[in-house]
Chains A and B, each alone.
Chain A
Amino acid sequence: MSVDWSPLWLSLRVAGIATAVSLALGLWLGWRRWQMFVALQLALPPTILCSYFLFRPLSPVVAALAGIVYAVPFLARSCAAAFQSVDPVYQDAARSLGASEWRLFLGISLPMVYRPIAASAAIVFARILTEYAVTFLLDGRSLAAPVTGGIVGLAVGAIVGLATDLPRRNAA
C-alpha cells in the first residue's frame, strides 16, 4: 500500500512558516513590551479566529496566517516574560558600553533567554501542526489528518521543549 505523505509535508511546511513568522513577531512585541495589544487574542476561541479567514479560499498561505494569528499572543507573552526576567543591570551595562538597542537585543538579551523562548516556539509549532479546529473549519481536506499531526507534533514539542527547557533548570 502506497502512502501519500504530501499532506504531512504540507502541514510541516505551513506550521514551520507560521512558527517562524510568529516567533519574529512575538520577539518584537515581547521586546517592545506590547503584549497587551495581543492579550485579547488569547481570550478568543479558535472558531472566531477562523472567521477572519472564512471568506478566502484555503491555501497554505491562509492556513499559515491562521496559525500566526493563533500563535503570536502566546509567543509575545512568553518572550516578554523571558526578557523581563533578565536583570536590568545587564542592559544598563551594555548601553553604557556603547551598544545600540539592536546589538543589546542580539548580543545580550536574546542569548541570555533563548532557552525558554525556544521551548515556547517548539510548543507553538506543535500546536499549529496539530491545530484541527482552525484547518477543519477553513477546509480540512488538504492538510494532514489530526492524528498523524498529533503524533508528530507531540514528538516535536516534547523533544524540543524538554531539550531546551530542562538544562536551564538543572543549571539553576
Chain B
Amino acid sequence: MTNFRLMKKAPCIALEVDFPVGPGITAIYGPAGAGKSLLLQLAAGLLPPDSGRVLFDDAILYDGKAGVHVPACRRGFGYLPQSDSLFPHLTLAENLRFAAQRFPRLERHRRVADWLERCQISACAEMYPRQLSARQKLAGALARMLVGDPKLLLLDDCGLSEGLLQEIRALTPVPVLFATRDLELCCAAASQMLLLDSGRILQAGAPRAILDRPAGIDAARLVGIPNLFEGRLASLDPFRNSSLIEFEHFSLSAAYVPAHFKGDRVWVAIRAGDLKVHASSVGANCLSVPLVRTSFRTQSVRLEFAYQIFADLTLGEYAGQKDNKDWYVEFPPAALQIL
C-alpha cells in the first residue's frame, strides 16, 4: 500500500494531507498557491516534512516519530518540476546518461538511445537544451525521468497535455501523481482526484463523482459550480418527497432533504449547464430574472442573471433564445444539490 501523510508549515502555507495512491493516474487539482508543488516536493523527499509518514509499497520512506527519512536520491521516484529542468550545460543525451548512471555502461547507452527513440527526440540527442523547443524540452525531461525506471511518477504542473499523459501511461505502468489547474485534464486523464485548497484535501475520489457531488461549498466552488446559494429550509415533507427552500430573493422546491430540520440553513449548488432558460414561465421552480451579461465561451454561452444566477447554453440554444424579451430560468429539482 502506498500512502502519504505529510505535515509541513511553510512560510505562506500550512500543508496537512493524508491520502493513499492507487495504481493509475491520480490528479491533484487546486488553485495556485494551494500547495500542490510543495506536496509533490515533500513526496519526492526533496524537502523534509515536519511530521507524518510516507509508505510506499509497504516500505516506510519517512516517519517523523521514528526519524526515518529516505533521501530523494534513494527513493527511486521520478519527479518533473514545474519549470524547465534539463541541465543546460549537458546535451540531451548527456542529460539522460546522467539519470541512467546506476546502470552498467552498455546497458546505459542502450537505455538512453531507447528512451530517446520512444519519446521521439532522437534527432536532437546532441543538442543543448537552449536549442530545443518547449515541446522537445518537455519530452526530454520526461525521457530523462523515465530512463531510470522510476517506481512512481510525480509530475508538477508543467504543461502536460492529455495526449502526453496517455503516452506516459502507455510507456510505463507505474502509478502517476500529477498536479494541475486544468479540471478538464483531471476528468479526461485521471482515475482518482484530490481537491486541494490551502494545504488541505477537501475531497478525494473519482473525478466524475467529485464533479457530480461536491462535498462542501469550497469543493463546489473549486470545481467551478457558479450557482451557490445559501437558504433556509422553509418546509420539509418526507411523504411527498419534497421541500421548500427560501433564499434571499426567491424560493425553490426540491426533493426531501434527509437529516435536516425545518429552519436549517443549507447551501444549494446547481451547475450552470443544468439550468434551463425560457422565454415564458413553464411552471414550478421557474423564476423571472433580468439578464445582466452575456459572455461567449468556446462551446457555450454563459448568461449572467440578477441574484448571481449563471446559466450555460449551447450555441444552438442561445441562437434560438437570444431575442427573448423576458427571461425565465428553470431550476430542475433533480439537479439541485444540497451541500
Contacts and interface: CB of A to CB of B under 8 A. Distances in A.
Query: Are A and B interaction partners?
Result: yes
A96 B72 CA distance: 5
Interface in B50-89: 71-79, 81-85, 87-89
Interface in A86-102: 87, 89-90, 92-100
B144 interface: yes
Given A103-B101, A107-B98, A96 B87 contact: no
A97 B81 contact: no
Interface string B276-300: 0000000000000000000000000
B85 A92 contact: yes
A93 B79 contact: yes
Nearest to A108: B87
A92 B41 contact: yes
Contacts of B98: 94, 97, 99, 107-108
A98 B102 contact: yes
B27 interface: no
A99 B101 contact: yes
Interface string A85-129: 001011011111111100100011001100000000000000000
B99 to A, nearest CB: 4
Contacts of B74: 98
A148 B72 CA distance: 53
Interface residues of A toward B: which range?
10 to 19
Given A89-B85, A90-B85, A96 B46 contact: yes
Given A92-B41, A92-B81, A103-B101, A98 B76 contact: yes
Interface string A66-87: 0000000000000000000001
A108 B144 CA distance: 15
Given A98-B74, A112-B88, A92 B46 contact: yes
A96 B79 contact: yes
Interface majority SS (helix, strand, loop, mixed), chain A: helix
A94 B44 CA distance: 12
B79 A98 contact: no
A81 B153 CA distance: 33
Interface residues of B, number: 30
A89 B84 CA distance: 8
B78 A96 contact: yes
B179 interface: no
A87 B86 CA distance: 12
Contacts of B148: 97-98
Interface string B87-121: 11100000000110110000000000000000000
Given A89-B81, A99-B101, A111 B89 contact: yes
B99 A98 contact: yes
Interface in B134-149: 141, 144-145, 148
- The 8 A-B pairs with the shortest beta carbon distances in the complex, nearest first, are A96-B79, A93-B85, A95-B72, A97-B99, A89-B81, A111-B89, A92-B46, A98-B73
Given A87-B83, A92-B81, A98-B102, 8 more contacts: A93-B79, A93-B87, A93-B141, A94-B87, A94-B98, A95-B72, A96-B79, A97-B144
Interface of B: 41, 44-46, 71-79, 81-85, 87-89, 98-99, 101-102, 141, 144-145, 148, 154
27 contacts: A87-B83, A89-B82, A89-B83, A90-B85, A92-B46, A92-B72, A92-B85, A93-B81, A93-B85, A95-B45, A95-B46, A95-B72, A95-B73, A96-B46, A96-B77, A96-B78, A96-B79, A96-B145, A96-B154, A97-B99, A97-B145, A98-B74, A98-B101, A99-B73, A100-B73, A107-B98, A112-B87
